[in-house]
Structure 1
Amino acid sequence: MINSGRENSSRADLRTRIVRTSMEAFATRGVKSVTMDDVAMMLGISKRTLYEIFEDKETLLIECLSDHHDQMVVFMREVLETSSNVLEVILKGYKKSIEDYRGTNIRFLQEIKKYPKVYELVRSNHKRDHDDAVEFFKKGVEQGIFRDDVNFSIVHILVHEQFDSLMGREIFTQYSFMEVYESITFTFLRGVSTAKGAAILEEFLIEYRSQNKL
C-alpha cells in the first residue's frame, strides 16, 4: 500500500511536470513546432512513458490549458480577497496576464483553433466564466467604478469576440500581441468606467507604463 501510494504520487508529480513544461514550450514556440518527441526529450523520459500518460498532443494541450485556467482562477480568488474594489482586481489580473503573455508566440494562440477539442475547451471556459464576469462588473457599478448604463453581458461577449476574430489577421505583422491586447483592454475599461473608475485606471497606467517603459 505504501509503495502504491508513492507510485501514484510520483506519477502525479510527473504528470504535472509534463503539463507545465509542455505549456511553456507550446506558448513560446507554437503548438505545431513542438512534437511529443520534443516533450519527452525535454523531460528526459521515454516516449512510451509520455504516451502512457497522454495519448496524443491534443490531449496534452487540453490538460495544459485546463491547468493554466485553473491557476488563473485561483490567482483571481486570492486577489479578490485582498483588493478594495473590482477595478483593482481586474488590473491585477491584467498584470498577471501580461506576465503570462510576454513570452507567448502569437502562433500558439492562432494554432489552438486547429485542434477542435482544444478550441471547444477554450470556448467552454469562456461561456462558463461569462456569468461570473458580468456579476463582477455589476459589483463595480455598485462601487461607483463602472457606468450603470452598460449592458455588460453584451460588452463582455464583444470584447472576447474581438480578440478571437483578430487572431488570423495581418494586424500581428504590424503590431505585437502585447500592443493589441493592451489597446483592446484599456479602450474597453475606459469606455465602461465612471470618472472615479477612470481616475483609478489612469493612476494604474502611469505606474504600469513607467515600470514597463511603454
Structure 2
Amino acid sequence: MQDFKDITDYKLNLKERIPDVAMQLFTQRGILAVRMDDVAQEMGISKRTIYELYDKKEDLLFVVAVKHFKQRMDRMEQAVSHCTNVMEVLLEVYHMKVADFKKTNPLFFTEMVRYPQVKQFLDEQNELMRDHSLAFIQRGVEEGYFRSDLNYEMAVLQFDAMGEYVMEKELYRQFSIEEIFRNLVFVSLRGLCTDKGIKAIDEMLFD
C-alpha cells in the first residue's frame, strides 16, 4: 500500500508544477481560451486531480499572476543591477518589456482584469509601482536627467493612463511594440527631461 506521505508529497509537487504549466498556456493562448481541462491534459493528470488542488480557475490564475509578476520583477532587478544611471535603467527596462511583450499573447494581460481577485492584486502592485516610479524619477532629477519643476505624481498617472489606452484600444494589433514605445512612451518621457536627459534619450533611440 502506498504511504500517505508519498501521496501528500506527490500532491504538493503537483501544486507547485501546475502554475508553471498554466502560465505557459495562459501566456501563449490568453486566459479565456485555456480551460482547467487543458492544463490537466498538458500535465497528464485528471481534471479531478487539478480541482482537488485548485477549487476554480481564478484560484489558479491568481497564483500564476503572483508568480509571473515576481519573475518579471526578479528579471528586471537582475537586468538593471549593473546600470549606473536612470537612462541606462530605462534602456534595459525597454528591452526587457519589448522582449516580454513579443513572447506573450496580449490577451494574457487584458483578460486578467476580468477576475476580481487577480485585479485586486494587480491594482495593489500598480500602486506600489507608482511609488517606485516616483522614487526613480526623483533619482533622475538628482542625476540631472529629469526636470525639477514638474508634477511627477500627475506624470506617473498619465503614463498609467497611456498604458491602459494602448491595451484597451489594442494598438499592438496595428503597431509594433517598438513603435508604441517610440511614439508614445519616449516622446512623452522626453518632455520630462532636461537638455542632458533629451540628449541621452535621443542617443538611446537613434544610435
Which range, TM-score by smaller chain?
0.7 to 0.9
In 2, Cα distance between the equivalents of 1:111 and 1:127?
Answer: 20
Name the structure 2 match of 1:44.
Answer: 44
Change in Cα spacing, 1:15 to 1:133, as seen in structure 2 (3 Å) is farther
Contact 2:98/2:177, CA 8 A, preserved across alignment: no
- Once the two structures are superposed, residues 1-43 of structure 1 have per-residue CA deviations (whole angstroms, 9 ceiling, x without a partner) of xx99987776555444322222222122111111111111112
Report which stretch shifted further, 7-16 or 80-89.
Answer: 7-16
Change in Cα spacing, 1:110 to 1:42, as seen in structure 2 (3 Å) is same
- Once the two structures are superposed, residues 34-88 of structure 1 have per-residue CA deviations (whole angstroms, 9 ceiling, x without a partner) of 1111111112222223223222111111111111211222233334432100221
Name the structure 2 match of 1:90.
Answer: 90
- Once the two structures are superposed, residues 137-191 of structure 1 have per-residue CA deviations (whole angstroms, 9 ceiling, x without a partner) of 1001101121212222211111112221343326455335554355332123222
Name the structure 1 match of 2:77.
Answer: 77
Name the structure 2 match of 1:152.
Answer: 152
TM-score normalised over the length of structure 1: 0.81
Change in Cα spacing, 1:140 to 1:40, as seen in structure 2 (3 Å) is same
Amino acid at match of 1:120: Q
Name the structure 2 match of 1:192.
Answer: 192
Query: How many percent identity over aligned positions?
Result: 32
Change in Cα spacing, 1:74 to 1:107, as seen in structure 2 (3 Å) is closer
Change in Cα spacing, 1:14 to 1:82, as seen in structure 2 (3 Å) is farther
Amino acid at match of 1:114: R
Name the structure 2 match of 1:118.
Answer: 118
Flag structure 2 segments of 5+ consecutive residues without an equivalent: none
Bigger radius of gyration among the two = 2
- Once the two structures are superposed, residues 66-120 of structure 1 have per-residue CA deviations (whole angstroms, 9 ceiling, x without a partner) of 1121122223333443210022112212211222110222322222232122222
Q: How many residues align?
A: 205
SS state at 2:144 partner: coil
